[in-house]
Amino acid sequence: MTVERWDDDRLDRLASMVESNARVIQALANAAAEAREERQQILQLIAQQQASIDRQQEEIRGLQTENRRLIDSILNQRDRPEDNPSN
């Protein structure tokens, strides 16, 4: 195994690599923070959309119930001969 001398040129290259790595690490940290923020915004949007879907489903169920009630009423009227003048 050889022993290399730490001359000024080698120390400068090493310092340059350390600085470069530090910049890359900071850029990655920034990208990770941006990704977290985007995910949070997406999750909030999903929650809002789900709340809207839930409200629409409740409204649809109410309309279905009202439709069934109206259909039952119409069918009951049709089945009663005294209320049906066509007989």
Is the pLDDT confidence value at 16 over 90?
Answer: yes
The mean pLDDT value of the chain amounts to: 92
Question: What pLDDT is recorded for position 81?
Answer: 74
DSSP 84: -
Greater confidence (75 vs 79) lies with 75
Question: What pLDDT is recorded for position 86?
Answer: 61
Whether 37 maps to a domain, the answer reads yes
Average pLDDT score over residue span 17-46: 99
Count of other CB atoms within 10 angstroms of residue 35: 10
Q: What are the φ and ψ backbone dihedral angles of 63, each rounded to 5 degrees?
A: -65, -40
**Structural domain that includes position 53:** 9-79
d(CA 72, CA 66): 10
Q: What percent of the chain has pLDDT over 70?
A: 91
Total tally of structural domains belonging to the chain: 1
Whether 46 maps to a domain, the answer reads yes
Whether 63 maps to a domain, the answer reads yes
Q: How far apart are the first and last CA of the chain?
A: 113
